[in-house]
Amino acid sequence: MARQHVYPSGHWSLKVEIPYSMGIKAGEMVILAGQVDMKGNGEVQNKGDLGKQTEISIGHIKRILGQLGCDARDIVKLVVFYKTDGGVDEDAYRASIAKLIGVIDQSMCISFVPLAHLAYPGMMVEIDTYAMRGRKGERLAKTAAALPELEDLGRPFAHAVRVGEMIFTSGIKARARDGRVLHPGDTVGQARVVQDNLRKVLGALGADQNDVVKLNTWYVAGGSVEEWEKNARLRAEFFPDPGPAATGIPLPHIAPAGGRFQMDAWAMRGVDGARVKKEHVWFEDQWDWPNLHLPFKHGLKCGKFVFVSGQAPLDPKGRVKAPGEMGAQSKICMDYAGRVLKHWKLGFPDVVKMNAYYQGKDGPDELHANVNVRSSYFKRPGPTSTGVPVPFLAYAGMTVEFEAIAMTE
């Protein structure tokens, strides 16, 4: 697919050479790399200041969108990875982001991912951005769903937004309209509410769970296999087999206090109401979850998109390969992703977004250990990319999980 790549002159960079782009426009889809408050030499600015770093990051987003012929009104979804010990008032933070975005219409989604650490010391926030603009530069019509019984996100944010056949949701939580956490501290109870809320927001835009193509689940856990399996079963019960491409990541917090479970999704449904054809791939000799039958596959193709599920460094029996070795595990996951792409006669040049979740803290060593490996699979101008550290992943000895989006005609 013909695409436009941008990397603004003088923009920030990491401390290591990377082939990634800061923004890509492919067809009607616009995808940005995770934006942070750094300088061109890889130095974090305004260390420890969440508000100022957010302001600078959103300024970067607007700059990149402008170079792609877009503006903030074209944004359909933000994913905000931010550092907290649980003390950030996420509702107030969302309101501050709304002011910085400067859009009045209820026209975009937002998800928050609270983390204990980010890639470099002093870094407080990294923001993913997804937008849509017509192939000829025309603005595309949006339909937003803001349900009165769900938490009030405040303008310009909605619970879900539809543009043509594409549907995006905000992070769906177990909260009432007045902000109360439902079933506080109860993962199972919250999962039931979240699934019902996701069903409602998709239904408001003419879709259902059968139309979901990409699913991210965030849950509070302490790093045990038992916790991962419980949460995997909870998200799996909501979807038919075969289900969407999926990634599930444990977190130290979900705001506000008492939150345990969150989902956000992409779905696709024809503008005429017909389902969009989906194809799935599952390699029996690649990797699997132990002792579980889940509906999620290694990859899914729908329309012009190929979604690569979070690839884990496991073997077909669910055993961790190269335990604790981040470089080796990064290569395993990239090779797995490449095999999914090859199934549809695609390769890494077709990737528009690569997200990496890796075990790490506030330091560059773990980031560089995986970014150097995954970067070696791309040539300039490469895809957009985001990498964030988490305290732990599903299994002991597992240090990385990579997901990707590719596009083709």
Between residues 224 and 341, the one the model is more confident about: 341
pLDDT value of residue 310: 97
Question: Strand ranges (DSSP E) for 86-204?
Answer: 109-115, 125-132, 143-145, 160-163, 166-169
Q: Say which residues have a Cβ less than 8 Å from residue 358's Cβ, sequence separation at least 6.
A: 326, 366, 367, 369, 370, 387, 388, 389, 390, 399, 400, 401
pLDDT value of residue 326: 97
Does 167 have pLDDT greater than 70? yes
The architecture of the domain spanning 1-140 is: 2-Layer Sandwich (3.30)
- The enclosing H or E element of 330 equals helix 326-343
Does 225 have pLDDT greater than 90? no
Put simply, whether the predicted model's pTM sits higher than 0.85 gets the answer yes
Nearest alpha carbon to residue 173 among 281, 72, 289, 263: 263
Residue 331 structure tokens: 């290569």
The angle, 0 to 180 degrees and rounded to 10, between the axes of the packed helices 364-375 and 326-343 is 30
What digits encode the pLDDT tens for the residues 327-385?
Answer: 999 999 999 999 999 999 999 999 999 999 999 998 889 999 999 999 999 999 999 99
Nearest alpha carbon to residue 225 among 320, 336, 327, 332: 320
Q: Cα dihedral angle (276, 297, 393, 116), rounded to 10 degrees? A: 0
Confidence tier at 23 by pLDDT (50, 70, 90): very high
Q: What is the DSSP string of 5-71?
A: EE--TT----SS-----SEEEETTEEEEEEE-SB-TTSPBSSTT-HHHHHHHHHHHHHHHHHHTT--
* Range 119-140 average pLDDT: 97
Q: Say which residues have a Cβ less than 8 Å from residue 122's Cβ, sequence separation at least 6.
A: 44, 47, 48, 362
Confidence tier at 15 by pLDDT (50, 70, 90): confident
List the domain boundaries for the chain. 1-140, 141-276, 305-409
pLDDT value of residue 231: 87
The reply to whether 305-409 shares the fold of 141-276 is yes
Q: Which CATH class is domain 305-409?
A: alpha beta
Nearest alpha carbon to residue 89 among 255, 252, 225, 212: 255
Q: Among residues of the chain, what percentage have pLDDT more than 90?
A: 89
pLDDT value of residue 200: 98
Does 175 have pLDDT greater than 90? yes
The architecture of the domain spanning 141-276 is: 2-Layer Sandwich (3.30)
Gyration radius (Cα) of the chain, Å: 19
Does 1 have pLDDT greater than 80? no
What digits encode the pLDDT tens for the residues 53-88?
Answer: 999 999 999 999 999 999 999 999 999 999 999 999
Confidence tier at 224 by pLDDT (50, 70, 90): confident
Confidence tier at 124 by pLDDT (50, 70, 90): very high
**Pair 44, 121: CB distance under 8 Å:** yes
pLDDT value of residue 403: 98
Nearest alpha carbon to residue 280 among 244, 316, 238, 318: 244
Average pLDDT, the chain: 95
What digits encode the pLDDT tens for the residues 148-165?
Answer: 999 999 999 999 999 999
pLDDT value of residue 17: 86
pLDDT value of residue 319: 94
pLDDT value of residue 312: 96
